[in-house]
Amino acid sequence: MRVDLTAVRELRFDDGTPVTAASGLAPLGDGWLVVQDDATSAAWQRPVGVVPVRLLPPVEGHDRFSEAAGTKSLKPDLETACPVEADGRPAVLLLGSGSTRRRTRGVLAALDGDRPSARAADLGPLYAAVGDRLGVPDGQRNLEGAARVGDVLRWYQRGNRAAGVPNACVEVPLAPLVAAVLGRADPGSVPLGPVHALDLGEVAGVGLAVTDAVALPDGRELLSAAAEDTPNAVDDGPVVATALVLAEHGRVLDIAPVPEVDGRVAKVEGLALRGVDGDRVRLLAVVDADDPGLASPQVELTVSLG
C-alpha cells in the first residue's frame, strides 16, 4: 500500500479566521461538515465558501476552548463525523471522545432548508457501557474514530500503548444510536455488538493509535493512526509519525506512512471517502495542528492498495 499527497489547502472561514483543531468531516448538502474539537461550532465547507454552524450551546459562556485560556477542560471534544439518516433525511452524526464526563455528547446535523441545524443529547450511559465493553479503565476512554459500515457504526477507541490500552472498536447499530441522539430512546438501551482489537505496532517506541476510520465499498476499512507520545487520553504530546492502516474485521492487512505536510508530520484526525477506482482510493482528510492559532490543513490523499 502507498499513500500519496495530491493537494493541500488551509481551512479558513469566509471572514479569514482559521478553522482549528479539525477532527472529523462528513458530506452535508453540496459540501463537507468539518468538526473542530476545540469549539461548539463546525465549519460547513461549500463551493461558495466556508461558514460556521453552531452544534452546541456555549459552555459556561465559552464557544472556544484552549489550554492557554484555562478552558480546555470545558470543551465538548467532538471527534467523529459520519454520514447517517435521520427521519429519512441525510445527516451527520458527531460524537464526543468520552475522555471526560463533559465529552459524552452526540450531535445530529441536518439541512433545514438551505442551512444546517443541529440536535444534541448527552449519551453518558452509552459511553459508560462502551468503556465497559472495551475494557478501558477510567480516564483512558478516548473514542476518536468511527466508520459507517452499512447500518452499523464501528466506533474506535484510540489506544495508548504506554498506558496499556489497545486500539479497538465496538460495533453499534445506527438506528438506536440516532434515536438516542434525537431523544427518542434511552442512551443506556443502545445495544452493543462485537469488539475488534487491533495491534498497529509502534514508531520510535511510540504506539500507533487510531484517530479515524472510513469504510470501503467491499467492507474493508482505512484507518488513520498517529504515534503521539502522551500518557493519557486528554493531554497532547509530540507526534512522531502518522500512517494509514488497511484493516478488515479487526485484522491489520497493511500499513503505509502518511506524507508530511510542509515539512511537518500530518496528524490526520478525520477521513472521508471521495471515490474508489479499482485499487486506487481517493480520500479527503483534515489535520489537527494542535495549535489554536493555526488553520487546520485539509489534504487530498490517493491510496494505492495493490
d(CA 153, CA 178): 11
Q: Is residue 298 within 8 Å of 9, Cβ to Cβ?
A: yes
Model confidence, pTM: 0.95
Q: Read off the pLDDT of residues 261-281 as tens digits, 9 standing for 90 and up.
A: 988 999 999 999 999 999 999
At 37, list the grid cell: 474539537
Every domain of the chain and the residues it spans = 2-304
Which CATH number applies to 2-304? 2.120.10
Q: How confident is the model at residue 210 (pLDDT cuts 50, 70, 90)?
A: very high
At 286, list the grid cell: 483534515
Q: How confident is the model at residue 306 (pLDDT cuts 50, 70, 90)?
A: confident
Percent of the chain, pLDDT > 90? 85
More confident residue, 137 or 128: 128
Per-residue burial over 62-92, b if 16 or more Cβ lie within 10 Å, else e, is: ebbbbeeeebbebbbbbbbbbebebeeeebb
d(CA 170, CA 195): 4
With cell 434511552, the residue in question is 186
Q: How many helices (H) and strands (E) does the chain have?
A: 2, 22
d(CA 91, CA 237): 33
Q: How confident is the model at residue 163 (pLDDT cuts 50, 70, 90)?
A: confident
**Mean pLDDT to the nearest integer, 66-91:** 94
Per-residue burial over 195-229, b if 16 or more Cβ lie within 10 Å, else e, is: ebebebeebeebbbbbbbbbbbeeebbbbbbbbbe
175 SS3 class: helix
Q: Read off the pLDDT of residues 25-37 as tens digits, 9 standing for 90 and up.
A: 999 999 999 999 9
